[in-house]
Amino acid sequence: MVKDFSSFQPVDPFALQENVFDLLDKEWMLITAGNEQQFNTMTASWGSLGFLWRKPISIIFVRPQRHTYQFTEEYDTYTLSFFGHGNFRKELSFCGSKSGRDYDKVKETGLVPIATPNNSMAFEQARLILECRKLYADDIKPNAFVDTLLDKEIYPTKDHHRFYIGEIVGCYQKKI
């Protein structure tokens, strides 16, 4: 069941007072792609937020074996849902360790899906949602590592991430 988006208000991404390092490393996020009929979500703590090509952007990383990969490939948008420090840690851990091929993550976690004004999927329990439109995608290339030790440590099985650069087209905070 998809709930409405009325508990969120649009915010200018340039007005956010968030610490990007805390958001990504400490808070984690759910990357979600798809539509109301079919979507998948996965937990991530790698990524970037910034400004590129005269646009506010996010950069996300998804390994090809992840179920979410097919959705980030197929759909033009994705969302990043942030829940707050320590909030929903059990649910985020589940979404990061279990595959949507094998589990209904919404049913298992109790997270409530909502459609953004542009019909991207996110979650009612989030405190901050960034909706992004894909601008660019490429694969991490083993031969491009300057620090070759990183490639050996992070990708011992050669399952290099695909990265997506997305323009932040919607930024929404939970109404207080």
Partner residues linked to 167 by β-bridges:
57, 133
Token pair 């050669």 is found at 158
123 burial class (0-12, 13-18, 19+ CB within 10 angstroms)?
buried
75, pLDDT greater than 70: yes
Distance separating alpha carbons of residues 99 and 92, to the nearest angstrom: 12
Range of lowest pLDDT (2-16, 132-146, 159-173): 2-16
Q: Tokens representing 75?
A: 């759909």
Neighbours of 122 (CB within 10 A): 28
- Mind spelling out the 3-state secondary structure of the chain? CCECCCCEEECCHHHCCCCHHHHHHHHCEEEEEECCCCEEEEEECCCEEEEECCEEEEEEEECCCCHHHHHHHHCCEEEEEECCCCCCHHHHHHHHHCCCCCCCHHHHHCCCEEECCCCCEEECCCCEEEEEEEEEEEECCHHHCCCHHHHHHHCCCCCCCEEEEEEEEEEEEECC
Going by pLDDT thresholds of 50, 70 and 90, the confidence category of residue 176 is: confident
Number of domains composing the chain: 1
30 lies in some domain:
yes
Two structure tokens written together for 146: 């300057």
44 and 130 in contact (C-beta within 8 Å)? Answer: no
3 occurs within a structural domain = no
Is 113 a member of any domain? Answer: yes
Q: Does any domain span residue 2? A: no
Question: Phi/psi of residue 29, each to 5°?
Answer: -155, 160
How much is the mean pLDDT over the chain?
Answer: 93
Domain that holds residue 144: 8-174
Find the mean pLDDT for residues 4-27: 91
pLDDT per residue as tens digits for the range 37-53: 999 999 999 999 999 99
1 in a domain, yes or no?
no
CATH of the domain at 121: 2.30.110.10
At residue 23, does pLDDT exceed 60?
yes
What pLDDT shows up at residue 4? 75
pLDDT beyond 70 at 1? no
Q: In this structure, is residue 48 part of a structural domain?
A: yes
